[in-house]
Structure 1
Amino acid sequence: MAGRQPGFWDVEQRLRELSAQGDPLEKLGATVDFEIFRADLDATLGPRDLSRGGRPPFDPVLKFRMLVLQAMHGLSLAQTEYLVADRLSWMRFCGLGPGDAVPDANTLWDFREALIGAGALDALFSRLDRAITEAGYLPMAGQILDPTLVAAPRQRNTEEEKARIKAGETADAIWPDKPARARQKDMDARWTVKFAKAKPAADGTPRIDIAIPAFGYKSHISIDRRHGVIRRAKVTDAAAHDGARLREGLIDPNNTASDIWADSAYRSAANERFLAGIGKVSRIHRRKPKAKPMPKRTARANAAKSAVRAHVEHPFAHQKGPMGLVIRTIGIARATATVTLANMAYNMKRWCWLDRRSAPA
């Protein structure tokens, strides 16, 4: 009824209704014990000198929960602050009540910068991976590698400025009389060209490759074949070659199977030697011979590998779709933080899905 005075138990009743409807954040909070991250967070931030006065600091686990919410929904920090203050389900996930203070966007920015500066996000990612493994989802049945482009705000530079950026000059050196402009230039992101297949024409004309320019970064991941959890990850500029990343920490040594699946960009003599040297079996696609048709035997083998390799597209589709993964920041360090948090958010959601699938009917 309009104008009714709110009751004392109205909030609790609404939360019970949200639980009855299957609040996904409540399920996430029940699956992932965020206290496992406290030791790493405390070690990163260090003790605060309360004798200097000021407002008591916000709980680091609370701020980390908010960064996870941001990554899950592709939000800005300001939007995250607003929605945590506005939505009851988000408040409950963060352990807050309607009357509690919510960390603002600047507080979250400082917190994330502290994590980046200390290199703590890798430790947090590894801690989550151990928790998923301890829950029974061991990395097994081999691993699948693939990259995807992550868009960043496009830069409008002249050919001379582009050449100076590629030469490694700093933004301050390129724009000495325009400090505000220099601060907004991303010197780490790069342009690249992505090739896509056009649909065949109605008259039977063969389809051709379409070159699509893209600017930003690449997210390289390795998932385990059985559970689809992201086990290893790396971020580079968009122009970095895919194949060279295989030897840069993308192989999970804890995977109990030796098979490695990847597309033909990863096939090289150096990679084959590397995999053989660490006891892994290459299931990497073979390339089409130059100026020759693809042998039928090779085409059948590639098709069989594709049936397995296609599973690595699922994390990318979820991150770019429902999670809205894009880069809003400047520099590869912050881009790496954005992608790492998105990978952690995906793994948390994947963990929840695995639990639901294994639960008795």
Structure 2
Amino acid sequence: MKSFEKYFMNKQYSRVKALGDKLAEIDPIIDWEFFRPIVSEMYDNDSERGGRPNIDEIVMIKMLVLQSWYGLSDPELERQANDRISFQKFLGFPERIPDRSTVWAFRERLIDTGKDEIIWEELQKQIDSKGLEVKEGVIQDATFITADPGHQRVNEPRGPEAKTRRNKEGEWTKKNGKSHFGYKLHTLVDMDYGLIRRLETTTAEVHDSQIDLSKSGEVVYRDRGYFGGSCKGYNATMKRAVRGHPLKIRDKLRNKRIVRKRSAGERPYAVIKNIFKSGHLLVTTTLRAHTKNLFTCFCYNLLQLNTLQKNNPT
């Protein structure tokens, strides 16, 4: 009976595939099985939280990918995963679709164990194994990821004791006369392939120059916001005029060259905010915002890998 049901669902899905399915394109790009042991280790212990998960580990990871790709809340993810055949095909037609509580608990466990970072590292290993290592240089930039401030007054404390659901750690900041509340996503993008290689999440008030994602030996292109900040790589940061020291013509020409180089670093943010609809998060802490950002960047890299594969078929 189960084999007949799977046959029927595949036949139904063939009509969807004929119309075009982006999920079917990104599914074979990476080897999902390498993520299984990472997740399995979270449940391999003797504590009361031990035991194996009731749902396949790859299904759980793919659920978070679907959530980030389509900008879905946990309840909406559950509904659409049960309703959309393209989602079920991407998940491998599992016998059971994880409910919203299972998704929330899984994501929280990733945060508690730090396995979300190991999942990101495994993705980077697979990218490198395809011959897509960083060669020419990298671009560091940052963007605001807003959150709901809630109804808490400005002078009331935030943090774990805050009596609100949405603004425990988010902070206010102002840029170009406009106020922003929430977090900031910092990314490092390679210039060769446009892939996000590293990321960090902070509260919104943290200045860009305080975050350095570079490594020794890398040429790092950055805008004026990083002027004066530390840099572990070769510092290709745009210069900024300061009182009594206007920019010389040589510095202006250098800035123009850097602008051309670093412009590609804006594309991930356009995709994250306009396609994945992840420029605004309903989360309460920086760690939760970071995991959300991590899976959104995971999705961006899958999209970019698919583009690179189409442009350079082997």
1:334 to 257, 279, 288: 288
Instruction: Specify the alignment match of 1:232 in structure 2.
Output: 198
SS of the residue corresponding to residue 350 of structure 1 reads: helix
For 1:101-116, what aligned pairs fall within 5 Å after superposition?
101-116=96-111
Instruction: Specify the alignment match of 1:354 in structure 2.
Output: 308
> In the aligned structure 1, how far is the partner of 2:290 from the partner of 2:257?
33
1:189 to 147, 170, 184: 170
Contact persistence 2:144–2:183 (CA under 8 A): yes
Structure 2 spans left out of the alignment, 5+ residues: none
> In the aligned structure 2, how far is the partner of 1:281 from the partner of 1:34?
35
> In the aligned structure 1, how far is the partner of 2:104 from the partner of 2:27?
23
Match of 1:351, as an amino acid? L
For 1:1-361, what aligned pairs fall within 5 Å after superposition?
11-46=9-44, 57-96=54-93, 100-161=95-156, 164-165=157-158, 170-171=160-161, 182-195=163-176, 211-246=177-212, 250-252=213-215, 258-268=218-228, 271=230, 274-275=231-232, 280-290=233-243, 294-325=247-278, 326-359=280-313
RMSD in angstroms over aligned alpha carbons?
2.5
Match of 1:337, as an amino acid? T
Match of 1:139, as an amino acid? V
Cα 1:41–1:56 shift into 2, 3 Å: closer
> In the aligned structure 1, how far is the partner of 2:160 from the partner of 2:284?
13
Contact persistence 1:192–1:214 (CA under 8 A): yes
SS of the residue corresponding to residue 227 of structure 1 reads: coil
* Cα distance per residue 1:15-35 (max 9 Å; x no partner): 223333332111111112211
* Cα distance per residue 1:153-175 (max 9 Å; x no partner): 123333431xx44xxx7535xxx
Cα 1:113–1:311 shift into 2, 3 Å: same
SS of the residue corresponding to residue 118 of structure 2 reads: helix
SS of the residue corresponding to residue 184 of structure 2 reads: strand
Structure 1 stretch 214-223 or stretch 343-352: which is displaced more? 343-352
Cα 1:17–1:159 shift into 2, 3 Å: closer
Instruction: Specify the alignment match of 1:202 in structure 2.
Output: none
Contact persistence 2:149–2:170 (CA under 8 A): no
SS of the residue corresponding to residue 269 of structure 2 reads: helix
**How far off its partner does 1:336 sit?**
1.0
* Cα distance per residue 1:291-347 (max 9 Å; x no partner): 776433322221111011111100011001110112111111111111111111111
Cα 1:184–1:95 shift into 2, 3 Å: same
> In the aligned structure 2, how far is the partner of 1:159 from the partner of 1:101?
45
SS of the residue corresponding to residue 354 of structure 1 reads: helix
Structure 1 spans left out of the alignment, 5+ residues: 1-6, 173-181, 196-210
Contact persistence 1:231–1:252 (CA under 8 A): no
SS of the residue corresponding to residue 287 of structure 1 reads: coil
Cα 1:120–1:170 shift into 2, 3 Å: closer
Match of 2:235, as an amino acid? S
Contact persistence 2:189–2:196 (CA under 8 A): yes
**How far off its partner does 1:10 sit?**
5.3
Structure 1 stretch 295-304 or stretch 8-17: which is displaced more? 8-17
> In the aligned structure 1, how far is the partner of 2:107 from the partner of 2:42?
11
Contact persistence 2:147–2:166 (CA under 8 A): no
SS of the residue corresponding to residue 199 of structure 2 reads: strand
> In the aligned structure 2, how far is the partner of 1:92 from the partner of 1:57?
20
Cα 1:134–1:308 shift into 2, 3 Å: same
Cα 1:90–1:260 shift into 2, 3 Å: same
> In the aligned structure 2, how far is the partner of 1:316 from the partner of 1:288?
27
**How far off its partner does 1:131 sit?**
0.3
Percent identity (aligned): 26
* Cα distance per residue 1:24-82 (max 9 Å; x no partner): 11111111221110010111232699xx99x9811121011011000111110111111
Cα 1:213–1:56 shift into 2, 3 Å: closer
Contact persistence 1:266–1:284 (CA under 8 A): yes
